Amino acid sequence: MKSLEEFLSGSGAPADLQQLVLVLAKTCGEIGAKVRLGALAGVLGEAGSDNVQGEHQKKLDVIANDLLVDGLSSARVAVALGSEEMDHAIVVPGGAPYLVAFDPLDGSSNIDVNVSIGTIFSVLPAPKGKTPGDEDFLQPGERQVAAGYVVYGPSTELVFSLGSGVQAFTLDHAGRWLMTVERMNIPAAAKEYAINASNSRHWQPPVQRYVGELLAGKTGPRAKDFNMRWVGSMVADVHRILCRGGVFMYPADLREPDKPGKLRLLYEANPMSFLVEQAGGASTNGHERILSLQPTKLHERVAVFLGAKEEIDLVTGYHG
């Protein structure tokens, strides 16, 4: 099996981007070691603080964020870092010309119940000739030079793309990342969908119609049955879709008409959309391609419909 180092050295990617990916992988390996020990490492439960989103931080949210900031800063593999857990981006003097936005531990509500969680990262080109700030992260997702995640599940897997397809690597007992999937792809047709059905009475009509047809199965206009999954960790649901197809949705909600959705554009929707498109799928906010959206705020939220191209085209078409 090819190692991560061997894959990167043969990828043609710039040496500093290769180094960035290696440091991300190493740091996520350290996060995974904490996650795997759980209660034994004293890392479960609440941190006793809130993040910029107003969400209660778990201890592991803070630990993962600190490990990523320390690891990326000390290696100077990026010149600025943005995180779900930090109000503003931080500058790394002398860092390589990349901006890294990350969700250090996605799916935190699952930490204390031992369900898969993950780290999501997005790599953008840094501005030339200036010290970067929050505003420099506000680039459409199609400008990403790399994106990926590490899922801390039954096995620890690094899934990422440099823009030439999606590769998966599994962490072995000696701490090596070994390639386990050379190219991930999402079948155009779907058999499974993922959405938090407890919100169904708050969905807008196009989502009501689309999910209603999935539920009708063989007896409805789709003339086939579908299965449903909802892990509550975007990383776990998207990983399943990259592995065996399907659709993931987190739509806007009528309870808060001004809030476009729950998920964050820069460090959840954009990196996952990059992977999904690289794997032959599609990703929209219900109206337009997510990777084409022009961000306006570092922690901007967005509605997300991603996965099997035929399904995303259909549900996006229902939005008119």
The reply to whether 233 sits near ligand P6P by the rule CB under 6 A is yes
Is-contact 201 212, C-beta < 8 A?
no
Is-contact 78 20, C-beta < 8 A?
yes
The reply to whether 153 sits near ligand P6P by the rule CB under 6 A is no
DSSP-based three-state secondary structure for 302: strand
Nearer to ligand P6P, 233 or 278 (CB): 233
Residue among 34, 276, 24 nearest 150 (CA): 24
Distance CA 25, CA 104 (A): 12
CA 236: distance to chain centroid? 9
CB of 18 to ligand P6P, least distance (A): 28
Nearer to ligand P6P, 46 or 225 (CB): 46
Nearer to ligand P6P, 109 or 155 (CB): 109
Residue 294 burial by Cβ neighbours in a 10 Å radius (0-12, 13-18, 19+) = exposed
The reply to whether 109 sits near ligand P6P by the rule CB under 6 A is yes
- Among the listed ranges 56-64, 226-234, 270-278, 308-316, the one in contact with ligand P6P (CB under 6 A) is 226-234
Q: State the binding string over 175-204 for ligand P6P (x if CB under 6 A, else -).
A: ---------------------x--------
Distance CA 58, CA 44 (A): 7
DSSP-based three-state secondary structure for 125: strand
CB of 74 to ligand P6P, least distance (A): 28
Distance CA 251, CA 217 (A): 21
Nearer to ligand P6P, 70 or 87 (CB): 87
The reply to whether 234 sits near ligand P6P by the rule CB under 6 A is yes
Question: Applying CB under 6 A, which of residues 61, 106, 253, 311 lies at the interface with ligand P6P?
Answer: 106
- Residue closest to ligand P6P when measured from CB atoms: 234
CA 287: distance to chain centroid? 20
Interacting residues toward ligand P6P by CB under 6 A = 106-107, 109, 196, 232-234, 262-263
